[in-house]
Amino acid sequence: MLEHWDAVINIYKDKKDIVSTAKITRNKETALHIAISDSKTEVVKELLDIIDPIKIREMTNDMDENPLHLAASLGQAETCRQLVEKDPELIGKRNRDGETPLFQAALHGKQKAFYALHPHCTITGKDIKHDMVHCKRTDGNSILHVAIQGEYFGLAYQIIYWYPELIKFCNENGLTALHLLAQNPSAFRSGCHLGPFDDFIYRCLIVDLDKVETPSHFKDEPSMYSDFQSAPGNYQTCLDLLNLWKHIFTVIGKDKDKKQAPEEPSQDKIAEDSSKHYECRHIDIKVGDEIKKKGEGSQEEEKDSTEQSQHPSNDNVFFHFFVKYVMEFFLLVLRLAMDQLNSNSKDDLWTTRSPVLVAGRMGLVEMVKEVLLCFPVARLDEDLDKKTVLLLAAENGQARVVDLLLKMYSREHSIYQKLDSKGDTAIHLAATFGKNRPWRISSAAIQMQWDLKWYNFIKSSMPTNLLAIRNGEGKTSMEVFEETHEGIIKDGVKWLNSTSQSCSVIAALIASVAYASAATVPGGDNQNNGIPILKGDPSFDIFIIASLAALCFSVTSLTMFLSVLTSNYMIEDFLYNLPTKLLLGLTTLFISIGAMLVSFCAGHFFNIGDRNRNAGSPVFAIICLPVSAYVLTQFRLLISLVKPPF
């Protein structure tokens, strides 16, 4: 494009009624769209001074996006302000996906544009309220959902302060923003496997939360978990059901006391609290003010309805019970059934409807800790398989989550006694071969060792009465371990045999070379007394010691690998016996390789002469590099034998 914007502006001045809404690209974009795309701020300002505000609404591309959508998605805050001042109704327009300009700013993580548009998305009145219409898309996702999905956590933190209602809002899949946050382990330190250097940098990072622009009426906001009225949506169904049955018995008790009561209370007064949770979902929440219920009749209306009642008291109570409670009960059952159907149609990860269950499964110990501290009843949350956060953590090898629960609850707590739908305890689930465990490695034998350590850790942490419990199939935890690890045991035996055979050949070769070099003394012996001629030379002493060390360690390594080959390969052998032998064999093999190289270098020092000894040192170092590289590549295997990843 030639970008002759001066000519474009002149054309708009002369024929603004004709060309203002003209589509000039394949995507049906106008000149104003292109100017915004090219960040031509001055050009945009001049065009807005020329174009009729009513015409801007008609300037949409093939995605039904007006210029404000484009400016918000590109983060052009000043252009957003100019467009809103020109036509305030632009902020409420939606594109083909049902996204408002405010939603576009959150979707692309443009904080400045979001801050510029936010003040224009409020309803002014006695108290400032936020218009939630701008915050949702057609598929049910909110600005908080997309901010977390895009990992714009600074913007998400700000959205929580400005739009606290969105914390409990679910999209069409039944997922809250907390679900999406639990799906992203990289957002938490416990979900990241950092090296020493990266961990040091992480600990040095400073996050200044004071930069969040908190409105004054949010500063004194009580905790969202301070009472049952503001309980998270995942627990609201349980509270509704408990509240319903509470008032059913209240009505029955009221009926028994009517004969002694001087006045009969109004039926609307009885039903006031029962509809509390249902009605609060259909009103606008005012932060810092008391929640007022819709449909609450005045005292005069209550009096009239009582006086007009022509039914006997028992009939009246029965009628009220049927209409108010039975109908609400069936609606509640219908809602639970719909949630069940929706959850069955989702991916297995999302059958865990509660965020704390997703976090426990993913090992996000920070989220699990905060949820349990703010809402302790979440420890009893269950997924469709009746697995609690402890059972999911045990099944998926999340050691930090299990350790957190062990610190929070004593061993006498009922959380440890929970069974899933198959009758499995936490020990049974720890005994299964977890495909989602974080320590998946290629070595089957070491995988077997780590699974055994995890099984023993869970078994020693749980109450002793769980050890003898059999699951629904009548199997103990050890029987489950043997059954689920049958394949990996075979792979582990095969890997140990092949590794031991290969290392045995190398150890035998080093032993033979070390023996031959020790028998052949450099420089020869004195014919008169048989004493080596070079005795006393430092290089000769190094040669003798290194040769002897190579011989001893290579023979030790050979015996260790032979003992592995002749093992019975019982399950308990994979815990300590076989790993210890393999560790000793590999360690002594590496030492023997190093000793053989030292012996080789010391023996050749006599042949290069005194003048070339300084020049020969770099040559020997280069020769040792290939073997040293092999040792370093296998060093990770040694570490895995010593320390498990949990």
CATH number at residue 107: 1.25.40.20
Angle separating helix axes 577-604 and 613-642, nearest 10 degrees = 180
pLDDT given at position 234: 44
Write down which residue in 453, 484, 515 finishes a domain: 484
- Whole-angstrom distance, CA of residue 136 vs CA of residue 107: 11
Q: Are 232 and 377 in contact (CB under 8 A)?
A: no
Within a domain: 418 = yes
Strands 129-130 and 122-123: antiparallel
| pLDDT tens digits along 160-172 | 888 888 888 888 8
Percentage of the chain modeled with pLDDT above 90: 27
- In this structure, the answer to whether residues 22 and 92 fall within a common structural domain is yes
Cα dist from 282 to 225, 286, 293, whole Å:
20, 13, 9
pTM for the predicted model, two decimal places: 0.62
Within a domain: 433 = yes
- In this structure, the answer to whether residues 40 and 176 fall within a common structural domain is yes
- Whole-angstrom distance, CA of residue 71 vs CA of residue 32: 10
Please list, in sequence order, all residues whose beta carbon lies within 8 angstroms of the beta carbon of residue 566, skipping any fewer than 6 positions away. none
- In this structure, the answer to whether residues 259 and 372 fall within a common structural domain is no
Q: Looking at 125-129, 241-245, 513-517, which range is the least confident one? A: 125-129
The string of DSSP letters for 588-616 reads HHHHHHHHHHHHHHHHHTTTSTTTTHHHH
DSSP-assigned letter for residue 26: T
- In this structure, the answer to whether residues 46 and 172 fall within a common structural domain is yes
Within a domain: 498 = yes
- In this structure, the answer to whether residues 545 and 463 fall within a common structural domain is no
Q: Looking at 400-414, 488-502, 538-552, which range is the least confident one? A: 538-552
Average pLDDT along the chain: 75
The answer to whether residue 300 scores a pLDDT higher than 60 is: no
| pLDDT tens digits along 547-572 | 889 999 999 999 999 999 999 899 98
| pLDDT tens digits along 337-373 | 555 544 444 444 544 468 889 889 888 899 999 999 9
Of residues 64 and 628, the one with the higher pLDDT is: 64
pLDDT given at position 346: 42
- In this structure, the answer to whether residues 477 and 525 fall within a common structural domain is no
Our count of domains for the chain comes to: 4
pLDDT given at position 94: 92
Q: Are 139 and 170 in contact (CB under 8 A)?
A: no
Of residues 100 and 440, the one with the higher pLDDT is: 100
pLDDT band at 628 (very low <50, low <70, confident <90, very high): confident
Within a domain: 275 = yes
- In this structure, the answer to whether residues 18 and 167 fall within a common structural domain is yes
In this prediction, residues 601-619 reach a mean pLDDT of: 65
Write down which residue in 186, 204, 222 finishes a domain: 204
- In this structure, the answer to whether residues 365 and 410 fall within a common structural domain is yes
First to last CA, the chain: 59
- In this structure, the answer to whether residues 520 and 416 fall within a common structural domain is no
Amino acid identity for residue 94 in this structure: R
- In this structure, the answer to whether residues 477 and 493 fall within a common structural domain is no
- The radius of gyration of the chain from alpha carbons, rounded to an integer in Å, stands at 37
In this prediction, residues 432-451 reach a mean pLDDT of: 80
pLDDT band at 40 (very low <50, low <70, confident <90, very high): confident
Within a domain: 435 = yes
pLDDT given at position 316: 57
Within a domain: 224 = no
Q: What region does 404 belong to: left with phi over 0, alpha with psi -120 to 50, or beta? A: alpha
- In this structure, the answer to whether residues 253 and 331 fall within a common structural domain is yes
The answer to whether residue 410 scores a pLDDT higher than 70 is: yes
pLDDT band at 25 (very low <50, low <70, confident <90, very high): confident
Q: Are 280 and 291 in contact (CB under 8 A)?
A: yes
Kindly state the tokens that stand for 311. Answer: 């039914």
| pLDDT tens digits along 585-595 | 999 998 998 88
Within a domain: 307 = yes
Full residue range of the structural domain in which residue 290 is found: 233-344
Write down which residue in 419, 449, 484 finishes a domain: 484
Q: Looking at 94-98, 449-453, 627-631, 638-642, which range is the least confident one? A: 627-631
Buried b (16+ CB within 10 A) or exposed e, 28-47: bbbbbbbbbbeebeebbebb
pLDDT band at 276 (very low <50, low <70, confident <90, very high): very low
pLDDT given at position 224: 34
- In this structure, the answer to whether residues 190 and 161 fall within a common structural domain is yes
Within a domain: 105 = yes
